[in-house]
Structure 1
Amino acid sequence: MTDCTTPSGYDPSAAHPPLSGGVVPHLSLGDASAAVEFYKRAFAAEELQRLPAEDGRRLMHCHIRINGGSVMLADAFPEYGYPLQAPAGYTLHLQVDDIEAWWARAVEAGATVVMPLENMFWGDRYGRLTDPFGVEWSLGMPIR
């Protein structure tokens, strides 16, 4: 790779899928390709765009959609000033329509329960999970 912004074969004029959601998280992970596959299994993610790095091992960029919202992912590139850091200080929240099904699918895919599903005082059924890459997720659904 000659620099961090222009991998060979990249066509800046190619159509890019539009972003959805007001705030779009961008995750820098140790194995972004494996994370994309996990998010497909755990959260029914749809892969919209993938840009591999020239080394053939890492992802320069990937755009997925989970539950209607965009998430961006990339591998860490310490040689370009983007070292791998443990995720900390945030939780990605999914407000879903069938929390039991979403929860079961995520746990079956390999998410670790941090806080089991409970009916909360604010009116949601809610719980928290950590994915195999250290990212914390919360799921919520109004109690019916």
Structure 2
Amino acid sequence: MPQTITPFLMFEGDAQAALTFYTGLFPDAEVVSLTRRPDDTVLHAVFSLAGQRFMCIDSDVHHEFGFTPSISLFVQCESEQEVDRLFAALAEGGQELMPLGDYGFSAKFGWVNDRFGVSWQLSLPLA
């Protein structure tokens, strides 16, 4: 099997909600595999967004750390409407780090932590 590198997201009880939310946001998204524990939390899941595979779990051990914006998911959007739609959905219940705007390096850009704490950068390329 060839070496692969896959983003891995660790939640504490929100993995199913995050998985459902993320795969509902992107048109080319799917749950590839999902294994649950007897208490119905996610033991291990693989999902795909725009061809990129991710893994996620619900940790059954509490951790004193969470997600950080020092690593984020960068989405190159195809239209201003897509940037606006994704930003609004991801910002709901989350935190805006950089509001939607023109920062010179992108036609429209925004950075947000979603309600699960995962950080997203949304960019519309310059024409």
TMscore range, shorter length: 0.7 to 0.9
TM (norm. structure 1) is 0.69
Partner of 2:116: 133
From 1, 6, 10, give the equivalent of 1:28: 10
Cα offset for 1:100? Answer: 2.6
Correspondence 1:50-89 to 2 at 5 A: 50-53=34-37, 55-78=38-61, 83=63, 85-88=65-68, 89=70
Task: Confirm or deny: 8 A CA contact 1:96 1:139 kept in the other structure.
Answer: yes
Q: Once the 2 structures are TM-superposed, how far is the Cα of residue 69 of structure 1 from its aligned partner?
A: 0.9
Distance 1:51 1:23 in 2: 21
Q: What do residues 48-79 of structure 1 show as CA deviations (whole Å, max 9, x unaligned)?
A: 111112x232111111111221111111121x
State the TM-score, normalizing by the size of structure 2. Answer: 0.77
RMSD: 2.5
**Secondary structure in structure 2 of the residue aligned to 1:63:** strand
What is the aligned counterpart of 1:103 among 84, 88, 103? 84
Report if the CA contact (8 A) 1:51-1:61 is conserved: yes
* Residues matched between the structures, number: 120
Superposed CA deviations along residues 8-60 of structure 1, whole A, max 9, x for unmatched, are xxxxxxxxxxx9xx74210001210011111123334321111112x232111
- Identity of matched residues, %: 23
Q: Alpha-carbon deviation of 1:97? A: 1.5
Q: Give, as a single letter, the amino acid of the residue that structure 2 aligns with 1:67.
A: A
**Worse overlay, 61-70 or 104-113:** 104-113
CA distance in 1, matches of 2:49, 2:83: 11
Query: How many Å apart are 1:105 and its aligned residue?
Result: 4.0
Instruction: State the one-letter code of the partner of 1:71.
Output: F
Aligned twin of 2:32: 48
Alpha-carbon distance, 1:124 to partner: 4.5
- Look at both structures and tell me which one has the larger radius of gyration over its CA atoms: 1
Q: Which runs of 5+ in 2 are unaligned?
A: none
Write the distance in 2 (CA, Å) between the matches of 1:125 and 1:33. 31
